[in-house]
Amino acid sequence: MYKYKGKEYPCCASLTMGIIGGKWKTVILYHLLDGTLRYNELRKAMPTVTERTLSLQLKHLEEDGIVKRKVYTSKPPLKVEYSLTDFGKTLIPLIKSIADWGVMVVEKQGEIVE
């Protein structure tokens, strides 16, 4: 049994999926691989996610120490940027592998729809 931030997980894979699992967290992390993005840039990169869901998933990733949220208040309008923390950057090989596997599946069995 594994315990992380007060939750118990039956195995290490379960713990990993508890942190980055779900429909949108991995997608968010994929878009942050190349660097910092503003909230609206993430929204544009993920047009099918609702604002509420994106906000909640970003909040969860921030709480788990995976994503860093930086707010600039020096001059209006308010500017919010998201980036991977050092801890979040440890997920880069995993996220790249997940994305590469998806490309392989499409190349062998699917099609790309633009």
Predicted confidence (pLDDT) per residue in 69-96, tens digit = 999 888 777 889 999 999 999 999 999 9
18 located within any domain: no
38 located within any domain: yes
CATH number, domain containing residue 41: 1.10.10.10
Cβ contacts of 68-74, under 8 Å, gap ≥ 24: 70/36
Show the domain range for 80. Answer: 24-109
Question: According to the model, what pLDDT value does residue 109 have?
Answer: 84
pTM (two decimals): 0.87
1 located within any domain: no
Domain count, the chain: 1
| CB neighbour list of residue 19: distance below 8 Å, 6 or more residues apart | 4, 25, 64, 66
* Dihedral over alpha carbons 102, 2, 84, 73 (to 10 degrees): 130
Distance, CA of 2 to CA of 9 (rounded, Å): 5
Predicted confidence (pLDDT) per residue in 42-53, tens digit = 999 999 999 999
